[in-house]
Amino acid sequence: MKLLKVIYLGKQPPKRTIVQTKMEAAIVRPYKEGKPVTGHKSFNWVQRADNKQWVHAYNSPEFIRDTLGTPLVQNLRTTGQSKKIVVDFCGGEGLVTDVLQQFLKSQGINATVINSDLSERNLGRHRKQNPEGVVVRADSAKAPYAPNSLDAATVRYGIHYFSKKAQSQLMKEIYKAVKPGGVVIVYHPHHQSTFVPHVKAMAAAAGMSYAERRTQNYFPTEEEFARMTSKVGFEVSDPQVVAEHWYSPESYADRWGGDNKEKRREIQKKVKRIFDKAASQKKYAEEFKRQGKRILKPGHHIMFILRKPE
């Protein structure tokens, strides 16, 4: 608690009213090396850009270490031996937070990694999984951290939960909280040409309209994100492609259909119709042809390293 008092803006941290829920077992499925994981339970599988291995986008500790961990260590090493504070914004169930905490320790870096998320349920799962973990319940776009108090920050799979305008607010808040010379590592699935059918398929599977889905989940293009963050004041790295994601009608059915066979069939049918329609349109046709219509590669997972100038 002492640590939190230092970084909070003179206010007491919000009362922790975390509901502890049973940690769900990770749903992963064995995969054949080199082959796309496109069927049942495949929604969150990605293919790494460096070694072409298929990994579960959320659960793979190696993937988290190799993507966010390595540049984080490199950057923290340049700023002396002092105790570091890193905030994992939108940290959810704390998968990234915990892997980074352990990785920094194993690399001899004295640091506390804080999971900062709005969801009581997700923070509760993190607490249950790791009672030692430091969690803060807060809206990342109104983050209550003192200016220039953080050595680094990370955001993985968090950006698209904010509207376009709120994304800029979020990055401004993070900029304020990070020390000059500090880095912010942002990992995010960005747009590619086939992204629109993907969002349409997600909307249909979730029983929403495309417009609703677009308002809730705004995925910026790489250029847009780079422009916005440099306007905020960051020095922005070249975007680095770390993985590609692929989807099939079965994967949407699995993500939104649950155990309901009827619902799953319905979703598969709807998504297939969306894929077929897109495949007949010139702007998507080539990509669909390459992937064989039933598999959609809608985007790259991109990492940006943002630095607050000294």
Binding site for ligand SAM (CB under 6 A): 58, 90-92, 95-96, 117-119, 122, 139-141, 156-158, 161
State in angstroms the smallest separation of the CB of 160 from ligand SAM.
8
The distance between the two most distant Cα atoms of the chain, rounded to a whole number of Å, is 60
State in angstroms the smallest separation of the CB of 259 from ligand SAM.
22
Residues 31/48, Cβ–Cβ less than 8 Å: no
* Nearest CB to ligand SAM, comparing residues 155 and 236: 155
Question: Which amino acid, residue 19?
Answer: V
* Nearest CB to ligand SAM, comparing residues 125 and 272: 125
Structure tokens at 303: 């990492």
Structure tokens at 262: 């009827």
How far is residue 246's CA from residue 271's CA, in Å, rounded to a whole number?
14
- Secondary element (H or E) of residue 303: strand 296-307
* Nearest CB to ligand SAM, comparing residues 156 and 308: 156
Residue nearest to ligand SAM (CB): 92
State in angstroms the smallest separation of the CB of 187 from ligand SAM.
7
Task: Report strand pairing: 150-156 vs 84-89.
Answer: parallel
State in angstroms the smallest separation of the CB of 125 from ligand SAM.
9
Q: If you write DSSP's letter for every residue of 126-149 in order, what string do you get?
A: HHHH-TT-EEEE--GGG--BPTT-
* Nearest CB to ligand SAM, comparing residues 159 and 279: 159
State in angstroms the smallest separation of the CB of 139 from ligand SAM.
4
Q: Give the rounded distance of the alpha carbon of 140 from its chain centre.
A: 13
The answer to whether the Cα torsion of 100, 50, 249, 156 is positive or negative is: positive
* Nearest CB to ligand SAM, comparing residues 91 and 239: 91
State in angstroms the smallest separation of the CB of 262 from ligand SAM.
27
* Nearest CB to ligand SAM, comparing residues 136 and 295: 136
